Amino acid sequence: MNSQADKAEAFRRLHDRRNVLVLPNAWDVPSARVFEDEGFPAVATSSAGMMVSLGYPDGEEIPTEEFVSAVKRIARALAVPLSADVVGGFGDSPQGVARSVKSVISAGAVGINIEDFVHITKKLLPVDKQANRLKALVRLRKSLKVPFVINARTDALRFGAGDDEAKLDDAVRRAEAYRDLGADCVYPMGLTDPALISRFVKALDFPVNVMVRKGLPPVAELKRLGVARVSFGPSASYAAMGLLKRAAKEVREKGTYGALLEGAIDFDELNSLAVPRKVRPD
């Protein structure tokens, strides 16, 4: 993968429904490099993990320039493709979203994840409004030399109206619309039940992304169900912060250092994670 366009094509090919792309979500350079060094073929950013690490809550309170700068630092440290979670797109209009995403692609990302709800209000966007944003992104992709991957997320299962069945129907309708507009993968946030995953995948007949959370079946089962992509979401950030809390509590209450030292990397390995990798590890 000698160019960004090569990375974009490679990332697109990873969305093969005969296999499952397990996509870890990093929040900074060293976490991204750890995932790459462990052999993952691509890495994504976690919006919550990355923004909180920079002192902002999840959402779009972070200045766009600071967000793009963080993506750029991660992208230049990796030899594998990087996909960026752009939340709602950092724009008040389809054109504004396209400008922000163009900056993210210019920073080195070859994929994006975009949501269809508003963080502040926790309300879903009308389908036609989200459709206009996706149309703008498809036009942008055609104008660039980087055929970036669009992962269209819907939060209908969380914030839709009606009972669970109505929410599932809404999620399917939205995902079908996003698929038909040119998204490369659809992402029904909150889907963990095997039977519902199977229904959703069969209804879409298209690459589907699910996120690691309690109750999600193992990767082998997800492959059987036809899932194309499994992302970590913020779970790695949760795990890392949980370890720090346990280590801090042990030192404070017991005066011992087991959690700090067991399984830890050393200084040389930590320092090496800041050196950009030019060749993919074997």
Structural element, H or E, at residue 44: strand 43-45
For residue 259, give the CATH number of its domain: 3.20.20.60
How many domains does the chain divide into? 1
Considering the domain boundaries, does residue 47 fall inside one?
A: yes
| Phi, psi (degrees; rounded to nearest 5) at 134 | -65, -40
Considering the domain boundaries, does residue 281 fall inside one?
A: no
pLDDT one-digit tens code per residue, 117-159: 999 999 999 999 999 999 999 999 999 999 999 999 999 999 9
Indicate the SS3 state at residue 153: strand
Considering the domain boundaries, does residue 129 fall inside one?
A: yes
Q: How far apart are CA 39 and CA 60, in angstroms?
A: 31
Give residue 189's region: left, alpha or beta (phi > 0; psi -120 to 50): beta
Q: How far apart are CA 24 and CA 38, in angstroms?
A: 11
Report residues of the chain scoring pLDDT below 70.
1, 278-282
Considering the domain boundaries, does residue 257 fall inside one?
A: yes
Give the pLDDT of residue 279.
Answer: 60
Q: How far apart are CA 26 and CA 43, in angstroms?
A: 7
Contact 33, 77 (CB under 8 A): yes
59: containing domain: 4-272
